[in-house]
Amino acid sequence: MSQLTKADLAAIHQADAIVVALNDGKGSVRLVWTPAGTVKNPFPHYVEYMLDVPVTAHTGPTGNHSAHESLYSYSRGPGQSILLMLKVGDQIRFNFFPDANTNPLLAQVGLHADVLELDVHRKIGKRTERFTFHF
């Protein structure tokens, strides 16, 4: 588990999207932000922040798999609400379950129903509370 810093939280709050990827068994977490375009630069480049958080792969086929959770500033969806409740000092990790909800019909057309889980450990007083969220 990794402990969140002030910089991590600032990046989380600024992000348009969080991309949790599992590539050949190695996990990564990227926060992506696209600044608003201007008259001089109508197509700005996106900014990327790598979050140093473990991604644990659980059962499923090997190979390249990824999960993507989009966050939009104009709509407070469940994914964004979950990420915005995080605090400095929280310890987090992502659990990735490739094809956990894939059924034969989805597999037949080449679609995947992966499960992405966020595990949060928060110190409250002298005890540590654990919260688990599903995307």
Report the relative pairing of strands 91-97 and 55-57 from DSSP bridges.
Answer: parallel
Domain ranges for the chain, please list them.
2-36+45-134
Q: In the prediction, which pLDDT does 96 show?
A: 85
Which backbone phi and psi does 28 adopt, to 5 degrees? -150, 155
Q: What is the pLDDT of residue 73?
A: 56
DSSP 59: S
Q: What is the per-residue pLDDT across 16-64, written as a single tens digit (0 to 9) for each?
A: 888 888 777 778 899 988 888 788 888 888 889 999 999 988 865 555 6
Question: pTM for this one?
Answer: 0.80
- Interval 83-130: pLDDT, tens: 889 999 999 999 988 888 889 999 999 988 888 899 999 999 999 999
Round to whole Å and give the CA distance between 93 and 85.
Answer: 15
Q: Please say whether the beta carbons of 96 and 26 come within 8 A.
A: no
